[in-house]
Structure 1
């Protein structure tokens, strides 16, 4: 027993020494990356633009950003609108809707530039935050990025609930083509003491293919560490300026139907 304890102490000391040499301490982003199994590649139908139904609120009609503000200071959104398309203006930060929502159906179309550069998470990275709960990347993220022949961790590819659930399939079209999200969001419900009475649920289709099937979220998106909930009410929808050096991505045809 004494020999076993001594061996354990020696191994612990070696591990601590390695951590000291590498400068690593505490949780790392890599700890929550999942690489297997890889979702099957599915070829979707050709892209088409989906008009808003009669009872929808149009969040972007191709003309202006009246429905959007800067997440940081709630000033008018400063992304670029041209030729019916909304494009990230690097360095201006995330934008979010002026209006707050609880449960809804959302349609959003996005496009990775044909001349995209980089690889992995640095290739066309953005995010659709289904409920924005604060500055920066606070909230619940449905990942947007180029996942067409671009390897990365599966719970970080397009169609994933970032760092929580990998998509059921990879139906992403090539860069330069339009992609579409259709999402059903059921907001979390909190008790008076802030505890979770009912988690958030997400059903999502990417290019018409089911990628999230009424999954119960574990909490808000966390880049490092485990997701967790903090009590909140109705929240804006947010789009991310990820700040990558590669060409910025674009959006069109964004509309929402509030649900009970």
Structure 2
């Protein structure tokens, strides 16, 4: 089923300064059914005069908020992972009316039509133009090396517990690996649903629970601040270095290098677990020491345990999942990426 519905109250005032609305909670898993708002939302790239200076590299993130409403981030320097200054964004708000979408902030008005964002100042003078793009992770489709354990290739689920596969060959959330892991390298690809009427933790929530102890959050965090409980965050411990979340329904990648915590013969921890995470090819955690389990994770211990892809009642999908067990004495290999961290695909 590609569209899931229920009812909830969305407290919009906490996020976009609009009155509280009662909206139908929806979860679209295909672009074909996502509706007109999905065609407007997404990433735009171009040149805009920001602060009186023409920025040849500028980015725009347009986030759907349900029922034709949107927020957006106008970013100097480009998009996330491509030089964008995410700590200096200009936040715009607006809606679709009479067939057009207009967003505004003090000094800026953005008009969206046919995949083009035209930017004007308060005097109505055109100061920029951006075009809608769809980016792809440079590690997308990374093949499993010869020594890898393939967890899911679109068909075979022999290495998984309680696996459910959609009719189009995608793995559903709520699955456990049969493999018990200590030190490893993991590649997986995931896609969050389009849930425009939902906010925060109710918007495309899942997680990669390493050893069922440590969670790397999966969430539709496109255009958000990038905190510990958003996509790429080590849950309740550490936010990602940069919020690399792409728009919903766009495939994304995690490449994770993990070194398990060390314990002596008495069962005392002698070294913290260490994790490195690349989100869409960009390092967001580098040799981070996990101080303890995260959230509702299982207690730390010396035993190898499986990986859980969390079921948080949202239809998150996975594909191309494999892992390589590493020698406990080996160092974590560096993931080699191209000069351009993300590539544009039309």
Match of 2:260 in 1: 187
Partners in 1 of 2:302 and 2:198 — Cα distance? 36
Compared CA separation, residues 230 and 176, structure 1 to 2 (3 A)? closer
Moved beyond 3 Å, runs of 4+: 114-117, 227-230
Instruction: Name 1:65's counterpart in structure 2.
Output: 157
User: 1:183 is paired with a residue of what secondary structure?
Assistant: strand
The equivalent residue for 1:217 is 290
| Aligned partner (choices 82, 88, 92) of residue 167 of structure 2 | 82
Please name the residue that 2:175 is paired with: 95
Higher strand share: 2
Q: 3-state SS of the aligned residue for 1:46?
A: strand
Structure 1 alignment gaps of length 5 or more: 1-39, 70-76, 89-93, 133-138
Q: Is the 8 A contact 1:41 1:169 kept in 2?
A: no
2:323 counterpart residue number:
256
* Aligned partners of 1:128 and 1:239 also within 8 Å: yes
Taking a change above 3 Å as real, the CA distance of residues 54 and 209 of structure 1, as seen in their structure-2 partners, is: same
Question: Please, what TM-score do these two structures have when normalized by structure 2?
Answer: 0.53
Report the structure, 1 or 2, having the larger helix content. 1
Structure 1 residue 231: deviation in Å? 1.9
Give the alignment partner of residue 148 of structure 1, picking from 222, 242, 249. 222
Task: Give deviations 1:90-135, integer Å, cap 9, x for gaps.
Answer: xxxx321112111000001000123554110111010001112xxx
After superposition, the C-alpha distances for 1:153-174 in whole angstroms (9 at most, x for unaligned) are 7111111110001000011111
For residue 222 of structure 1, report the CA deviation from its aligned partner.
2.1
Root-mean-square deviation over aligned CA pairs: 2.2
Alignment of 1:1-260 (within 5 A): 42-43=80-81, 45-47=135-137, 48-69=140-161, 77-88=162-173, 94-115=174-195, 117-132=197-212, 139-150=213-224, 154-222=227-295, 230-244=300-314, 248-260=315-327
User: Aligned residue pairs: how many?
Assistant: 196
Q: TM-score, normalised by structure 1?
A: 0.70
Structure 2 unaligned regions, length at least 5: 1-77, 83-134, 328-346
Between 1:235-244 and 1:114-123, the stretch displaced more is: 114-123
Tell me, yes or no, if the aligned pair for 1:199 and 1:217 is still in contact at 8 Å. Answer: yes
